[in-house]
Chains A and B, each alone.
Chain A
Amino acid sequence: MTRVRVLPESARSPGRQETESALSLAHRMPRLVLEARRVAANLAHGIHGRRRSGVGESFWQFRPFVAGEAAQRIDWRRSGRDDRLYVREREWETAQTLWVWIDRSASMAYSSELAQAPKIERAVVLGLAMASSFVEAGERVGMLGLMAPRATRRIAETMAQTLVTDRTSLEEDLPPGAPIAPQHEAILIGDFLTPVRDIAATVEGISARGARGHLVMIVDPVEEIFPFQGQAVLHDLEDGISLRIGDAESWGRAYRERIEMHRAELQELTRRRGWTFTIHRTDRPASEAALRLLTLVAAARGASVGGR
C-alpha cells in the first residue's frame, strides 16, 4: 500500500532549504551563454557581451581616433602616453528576459513515499535554480505577476522572499494570462492538473504578442502509475471533491488512459504555440529537469539565431 501525505500550507512557501538546494543545483548546471533571440538596439542594456564593440559597460578595445569623431570620445589617459589619440570602445552588451512562474496551489503540496521530494519543493527548487542560472549567464529574470525582471546576483533569495510574502498566488492554479513582450520567454512550472482549455487560454494569453515559453509538469509517481488496490475513497485537495471507488485496480487502468490523454492534449497545445513541454517525475533527480530545461531554452535561441 503506497502511502501519500499532504503537506501543510506553510510548506508551500520556499524556505532557506529550498533556496540553498536551488543554488547548489544552479552551481551544478553548465555555464550557458544564451543567445539573444533577436538583437535590437533598443533592448535594455545588459552585461551580455556580444564580442563586438557597441553599447555596454565593460572595456572592449582602444582604437585610434578618427578625425571627425566627437572629441569627447577620446580617452585622454591612454592618449597622453603616446603621440596619437585613442578612443576607448566598450563591448556591445544585451540581455534577455525570462519570466518564471511556480504553481503553489494546494495540489502541489503532495508527496507519496515513492517520490524523492514533495512536488512543491521540486517546483520551487527548479524555478529558483533556473533563475539563478540565467542571471549568472547575464539574463534578467522576473516572476509573472509578482516581480519585475531584474538581474541581481541574489536572484534566488529575492524570488524566495517574494514568494513567501505573496499569499494570493497560493490559491492560483495557473499564471495570470497577461501577454509578455515578444522577445521574452516564459517558464511555467506546475502540475497542470486543470482542464486543458483553461491552460490553453492562459498560454495563448501569455504568448499573444509572440513570446515563447516552456511548460514543466511536475508529477508525483503516484499520479502517474496509480498503485492502489481495493476499496478507496479519493479526495481532491483543492475543490474538496471525493470519489468512492470500489476496485481501485480496475479504476486505475481507466485513470492511466485518461492522464495519458491529458498529457497528449498539453503536448499538442504547446507544439501549436511553439512552446516546449517537459514532464518531470519527483522520483527523478531535479538536475535532470533543470538540464533539459536549459537545453530547451538554449536550443530555442539557437534555432532562431542559427542563421547568423
Chain B
Amino acid sequence: MLGLPLTFAVPLVLTALAALPAIWLLLRITPPQPKRVDFPPLKILADLRPEQETPARTPWWLLLMRLLLAAFLILAASGPIWNPLAEDNSRTPLLLVVDNGLAAAHDWRDRLNLASERIEAAGRDGRTVAVLGTAEASAALELTSPAAALERLRSLKPQPHLQDRGAHLESIRRLLDSTPDTHIVWISDGVVGVDGQGFIDGLAQMTDDQRVTVLKSERASTLALAGIENAGGRLNVRVVRAEPNGRDSGTLRAVDLKNLPLADMRFSFDGNATETSVAFDLPTEIRNSIARIEILGESSAGAVNLIDERGKRRRVGLVFGGTADQTQPLLSPLYYIERALSPYSEIRMGRGGVADAVNQLIEEQVSILVLADVGGLDRETLGKVTAFVEQGGLLLRFAGSRLAAGNDELVPVRLRRGGRSLGGSLSWDTPKTFAPFTRESPFFGLDVPEEIGIRRQILAEPDGDLPSRTWASLVDGTPIVTADKRGDGLVVLFHVTADATWSNLPLSGLFVDMLRRITALAGTTSDVNAEARAAEIETIAPRLTLDGYGVFTTPPANARAIPRSYAERATGEHPPGFYGPVDSSLALNALLPGDKLVPLDVAPLNARIAPLAGAQTIDLRMPLFMLALILLLADTLASLWLGGHLSNLTGRLRKAGAAAAILLASMMLFTSGFDAKAQELGSRRIDENANPALVTRLAYVITGDAGVDEASRAGLAGLTQILSQRTALTPGDPIGIDPSRDEVAFYPLIYWPIVATRPIPPESAIRKLDAFMKGGGTVIFDTRDAFNNRPDGAVSAEGQYLRRMLATLDIPELEPVPNDHVLTKTFYILDAFPGRYATGQTWVQALPPQTEGEENRPARSGDSVSPIIITSNDLAAAWAVGPRGEYLFPVVGSDPRQRELAYRSGINIVMYSLTGNYKADQVHVPALLERLGQ
C-alpha cells in the first residue's frame, strides 16, 4: 500500500476516518466543567453581572489528543499489518514440518517465530494447516484451523535426542493422499537424523518438485558433544559439528552434581575440521566429581554430556568392633577414619553387629572395607570377607584391644598376642616415632612429622617374609603398617588403633595422606562378573533427565526404564539423563562416543530453499490499541485537571503521603528506639556474662519459688565459704540463673532444686541443659524429698516432675553411686552424700563395667564427669548459712556430724565436677590404699 510494506485486514473501517471533523466540532463546543471558587467579596458585587458568558473553549491540545485517540481506534480496528509475508497466494492446505531434535535447540526461538509467522500468514489467507514435529512420536496428521495449529506449534519443544524423520513418512503419505495439493514447508536443522537420508528420498518420491519449501540456514550451526574418554589421568571430550559453520571456538564447562562449576576449557576447531577434542587435566578428586560437561551458551541437550558414577570415587565401608558412644564421637576410631577419608571417598557406615555390618557393606559393593579393632570374624563372615578380598577388594584393619586378644587369618602377618606398651609410667621407653618410609612402601615420599609417638602397638611374629610385607615401621624396626596380597585384593593392617588411645598418629596429617595412598590402591573392578550378570536383568528407571535445552528436569511421563547394560543413543522413550538410584546411576547421553553430525543433503527434493530468516511481520493492532488506551488515560487525567478535581486529589494524596511519612518516621523511630533498647539489653547481658567467665562460681537454677531460691543461694554461699577455707578453690559469689534465658556454659556445676508446683521449663531451656551436659557440665538435681519418701513408696511429686522434665533429655544410664566411684574420693573419702536428710540415694551416670586387671583399684571412673547427679537429700538446705554465719535449716538425722558430712559431700561434688576423673589415676592409688587402711 502506497509503496509501504503495509496492508490492512479490514480496509473498509478506514472510511470511519471521515467522521473525524464531526468529532472535532462536537468536542470543540463541549466545555470542561466550571470550577468552584469561594469568594467573599461577592456580597458587594451582587449587581455586577458577568459581561461575557461565552464558555471557555476546550484547549486545543485536549482536542488534538481526543482526535488522535479516535484516529488510533479506527486504525487499529482496520487491522494494519507491517511487512506482510510475501506468500504465493494459493489457498492450498499447508503442512509445516518442524525439526525439533537436539540440533534445533540452540536457535529454537527463531525457528518457532518463523513457524508462527508461516501459520499466521496462512491464517490470513484462510488456509488450513497441519504441524509436524519430526522428533515427536509419529502420529496421524490432521489439517486444522491456523489457531489450533498455532496451539500445536506452541506445544512443540526441542527434544533432547536425534530425531527419526523417517518414522513420519507414512503419515505424510496419508495426508498427501487425502489432500494432494498440500504445500509442504520444512523448517530444517540441516543435520541428518537417525534415519540418514531416508526421509528426503521418501519425500522426494511423494511430492512434485514445486510443493516443497525448505527453510534452512546455509550451514548447520549445531555444536554437540559426542563421547568422553577418561584416559591417562585426563578427561578427553569430543566436540563435533555437522560442517564448518564459523563457530570455531567456545568454552566447555565441567559441573558437579550440585551444579557448581569445576573447570572451564576453551575449544576450537581447526579450519574445516568437524570435530575437535578438549582435555580436562584436573586432580583426581575434582575430576571424579564432574557430573556433566556442557558447551557454554549452547543450551541444547546435544551440548551436554553426562558422566555417571562408574569407576569414580571409591566406596569405603567402616566397621568398628566395639560400641561407639554417639555422644562422644572423639572416642570412636571410626570418627578419625571418616574425617580422613571423606574428602576423597564415599563413606558407608556399617550398622548393627560386626557380622551384619560386614554383610551389609559387601552388598553395597564397597571397594574398601575398614575393620577397626575387630578381633576374630565368625566363619561365615570370614568367608565373605575372604571372597571380597580375593575378588579385588581392599581390607584395611586397625589394631585394638580386641585384635590384640586374638585374630583370624585375614591379617597380613602373624601377630603376637597382647600388645607392647612404650613409654608408660612403669617403662623406661619413650613413645616411638616412625622410621622414614622405604622406597618399596606406597607411603614413600611422605614426610614423617617429629611429633608422631606410638605408645602401644601389636607386634608381628618375626617371619622371613615380614620385611617384604612391611609398609612402615618404627625407628626400632618393628612393623607398624603391614600388607599382603590375597587373590586380586590386598589386606592392610595398621598395628595401632585408629583413635588416639595408642598413638597420636590419627591426629596427624600423615594419617590422612597414608589413608589416601591406600585408597588409591583399591581395585576398581570389584566383582565384575556379578555386576555384568546383574546388569542384564536389572532395569533402572530414569531419575533425572535432560530436556531439549540441556536442563535437568524430572523425567517426562513417556520416559521408560532401561536395562543397566543399555548402551544406545537416547531416544524419545529413553531421554538422556541419569537412570537408577543416586549412588549407582547410569548416564545416558544424546550422542554416543564416536557419533558424527552429518549435514543433510536436500538436493533430491528439488525444493525451493529459503534462508531461516523470518519476514519480521508485525501486527500493528496491538500497539495502536495500546496507544489509544494510553491517550484515553491521559485524557481522563487532563479532564480531571481542567475541572479542578486533580488538585483536590493531589491535596488528598499529599495529606495521605504526609500521614504515611509520619507513620513511617514514627515506625523508624520506634524500631531505632527498640534497637537501642536491644543494644542496651545486649550490653548489659554481656557485662553480666563477662563476670562468670572470669571467676569460677557455683550456680543454681531460679525456680521461681522464693523460699527455695533463697535456700539455694544461701546453701551455695555456705558451700562457697567452706570451699574457700578448705580447698585451693576460691569460687566467686553463687549466682542464680534462668536456663531458658542465661548462658550456662560458664558454670561447671549447676544446682537445680526441684519444685513440683512450678511449670516444667520450656523446651529451649531443656535443649540448653542438654548441650550443657553434653559439653561436660554437671547438673545436680535435688528433689529434696528424702524425708517423705519411703524406699518402696510411690514416686513423690518432685520425682515425677523430674522424670517428666528429663523425659526428652538424652540421659545416660544411671546407678547409685558405687563405693569405688571416683566421686567418693575426690577430696574426702566418703560413703554417702547426706544433705539435710541422710536417707536419700544419690544417683550418677553408670560407670563402664570393670575391666580385668582393675579389680583392686580403689577409685574408678568413666571417660568423663557424670553429667548428672540426682539426689533427694536437700543438699543446699544443709549448706545454707545466714548473714551472721548461722545455719538456716536444722539437719534431720541422728548423726551429729551430718552437717559436716554434707559439706564434705558438697566439696567432693565440686571437686569432681572441676577435676574430673583425676583422682582415679594410678598415681593416687598408694595414698588412697593407705588411707583406706588396706
CA distance A248 to B34 in the complex (A): 10
- A231-B32, A235-B38 are known contacts; what are 5 more A-B pairs with Cβ within 8 Å? A236-B40, A243-B50, A247-B50, A247-B53, A254-B51
Question: Considering only CB atoms, which chain A residue lies closest to B40 in the complex?
Answer: A107
A37: interface (CB < 8 Å): no
Contact status A258-B37, CB under 8 Å: no
Contact status A255-B45, CB under 8 Å: yes
Return 22 A-B CB contacts under 8 Å, by A number.
A6-B38, A110-B38, A193-B41, A193-B44, A195-B44, A229-B56, A231-B34, A231-B55, A233-B35, A235-B42, A238-B40, A238-B43, A239-B43, A242-B42, A243-B42, A244-B34, A246-B50, A246-B52, A246-B53, A247-B56, A248-B37, A258-B44
A262: interface (CB < 8 Å): yes
The 3 closest A-B pairs by CB, nearest first: A107-B40, A231-B34, A236-B42
A147: interface (CB < 8 Å): no
A228: interface (CB < 8 Å): yes
Contact status A236-B43, CB under 8 Å: yes
* Residues A220-246 near B (CB distance < 8 A): 220, 222-223, 228-239, 241-246
B644: interface (CB < 8 Å): yes
Interface residues of A (CB under 8 A from B): 1, 3-6, 106-107, 110, 191, 193-195, 220, 222-223, 228-239, 241-248, 250-251, 254-255, 258-259, 262
B679: interface (CB < 8 Å): no
B46: interface (CB < 8 Å): yes
Given contacts A247-B50, A250-B52, A258-B48, contact A228 B37 (CB under 8 A): yes
CA distance A20 to B40 in the complex (A): 28
B31: interface (CB < 8 Å): yes
- Min CB distance B930 to A, Å, is 95
B856: interface (CB < 8 Å): no
Question: Considering only CB atoms, which chain B residue lies closest to A261 in the complex?
Answer: B44
Given contacts A247-B52, A250-B51, contact A235 B39 (CB under 8 A): yes
List the A side residues contacting B54 at CB < 8 Å: 246-247
CA distance A248 to B42 in the complex (A): 13
Contact status B46-A232, CB under 8 Å: no
CA distance A238 to B46 in the complex (A): 13
* Residues B811-846 near A (CB distance < 8 A): none
Contact status B34-A232, CB under 8 Å: yes
CA distance A107 to B43 in the complex (A): 10
Question: Considering only CB atoms, which chain B residue lies closest to A238 in the complex?
Answer: B43
List the B side residues contacting A243 at CB < 8 Å: 42, 45, 50
B36: interface (CB < 8 Å): yes
Contact status B36-A235, CB under 8 Å: yes
B647: interface (CB < 8 Å): yes
List the A side residues contacting B33 at CB < 8 Å: 231
- Min CB distance A225 to B, Å, is 12
- Min CB distance B43 to A, Å, is 6
Contact status B55-A241, CB under 8 Å: no
Question: Considering only CB atoms, which chain B residue lies closest to A239 in the complex?
Answer: B43
- Min CB distance A167 to B, Å, is 21
CA distance A3 to B540 in the complex (A): 81
List the A side residues contacting B644 at CB < 8 Å: 1
Contact status A234-B37, CB under 8 Å: yes
Interface centre among A107, A193, A234, A250 (most CB of B within 10 A): A234
Contact status B45-A258, CB under 8 Å: yes
Contact status B52-A236, CB under 8 Å: no
- Min CB distance A26 to B, Å, is 28
Contact status A232-B36, CB under 8 Å: yes
List the B side residues contacting A237 at CB < 8 Å: 38, 40
Other-chain contact of B37, A4, A106, A193, A262 (Cβ < 8 Å): A4
CA distance A258 to B36 in the complex (A): 21
- Min CB distance A245 to B, Å, is 4
Given contacts A4-B37, A232-B37, contact A194 B42 (CB under 8 A): no
- Min CB distance B717 to A, Å, is 62
Other-chain contact of B55, A234, A239, A246, A255 (Cβ < 8 Å): A246
Contact status A245-B45, CB under 8 Å: no
- Min CB distance A254 to B, Å, is 6
- Min CB distance A255 to B, Å, is 7
Contact status B42-A234, CB under 8 Å: yes
Other-chain contact of B50, A3, A191, A195, A245 (Cβ < 8 Å): A245
List the A side residues contacting B37 at CB < 8 Å: 4, 228, 232-235, 248
- Min CB distance B307 to A, Å, is 75
Given contacts A6-B38, A246-B53, A247-B54, contact A231 B31 (CB under 8 A): yes
Contact status A223-B53, CB under 8 Å: no
Q: Decide if the interface of chain B is mainly helix, strand, loop or mixed.
A: loop
Interface centre among B52, B644, B647 (most CB of A within 10 A): B52
List the B side residues contacting A258 at CB < 8 Å: 44-45, 48
CA distance A166 to B788 in the complex (A): 84
CA distance A220 to B38 in the complex (A): 12
Question: Considering only CB atoms, which chain B residue lies closest to A251 in the complex?
Answer: B50
- Min CB distance A146 to B, Å, is 23
CA distance A210 to B758 in the complex (A): 94
List the A side residues contacting B55 at CB < 8 Å: 231, 246
- Min CB distance A117 to B, Å, is 15
- Min CB distance B265 to A, Å, is 70
* Residues B369-395 near A (CB distance < 8 A): none
List the A side residues contacting B39 at CB < 8 Å: 4, 222-223, 234-236
List the B side residues contacting A239 at CB < 8 Å: 43
* Residues B20-73 near A (CB distance < 8 A): 31-46, 48, 50-56
Given contacts A232-B35, A255-B48, contact A223 B56 (CB under 8 A): no
CA distance A47 to B54 in the complex (A): 66
Other-chain contact of A110, B40, B50, B647 (Cβ < 8 Å): B40
Question: Considering only CB atoms, which chain B residue lies closest to A243 in the complex?
Answer: B42
Interface centre among B32, B50, B51, B644 (most CB of A within 10 A): B50
Contact status A233-B43, CB under 8 Å: no
Question: Considering only CB atoms, which chain A residue lies closest to B47 in the complex?
Answer: A258
CA distance A236 to B42 in the complex (A): 6
List the B side residues contacting A246 at CB < 8 Å: 50, 52-56
CA distance A62 to B537 in the complex (A): 140
CA distance A243 to B40 in the complex (A): 12
Contact status B50-A4, CB under 8 Å: no
Contact status A233-B40, CB under 8 Å: no
Question: Considering only CB atoms, which chain B residue lies closest to A242 in the complex?
Answer: B42
List the B side residues contacting A259 at CB < 8 Å: 41, 44
List the B side residues contacting A110 at CB < 8 Å: 38, 40
Question: Considering only CB atoms, which chain A residue lies closest to B644 in the complex?
Answer: A1
CA distance A250 to B55 in the complex (A): 12
Contact status B43-A241, CB under 8 Å: yes
Contact status A3-B34, CB under 8 Å: no
Other-chain contact of A3, B43, B46, B647 (Cβ < 8 Å): B647
Contact status A241-B42, CB under 8 Å: yes
CA distance A241 to B34 in the complex (A): 17
List the B side residues contacting A4 at CB < 8 Å: 37-39
List the A side residues contacting B647 at CB < 8 Å: 1, 3
Question: Considering only CB atoms, which chain B residue lies closest to A230 in the complex?
Answer: B56
Other-chain contact of B51, A3, A236, A251 (Cβ < 8 Å): A251
CA distance A255 to B41 in the complex (A): 9
CA distance A229 to B59 in the complex (A): 13
Contact status B36-A233, CB under 8 Å: yes
List the B side residues contacting A220 at CB < 8 Å: 40
Q: Mark B636-657, 1 if CB is under 8 A from A, else 0.
A: 0000000010010000000000
Contact status B45-A231, CB under 8 Å: no
List the A side residues contacting B42 at CB < 8 Å: 234-236, 241-243
Q: Mark B748-777, 1 if CB is under 8 A from A, else 0.
A: 000000000000000000000000000000
CA distance A5 to B48 in the complex (A): 24
- Min CB distance A219 to B, Å, is 9
CA distance A3 to B56 in the complex (A): 19
CA distance A260 to B117 in the complex (A): 76
Other-chain contact of A241, B35, B46, B52 (Cβ < 8 Å): B46
CA distance A251 to B43 in the complex (A): 15
List the A side residues contacting B35 at CB < 8 Å: 1, 230-233
List the A side residues contacting B41 at CB < 8 Å: 193, 223, 255, 259
List the B side residues contacting A241 at CB < 8 Å: 42-43, 46
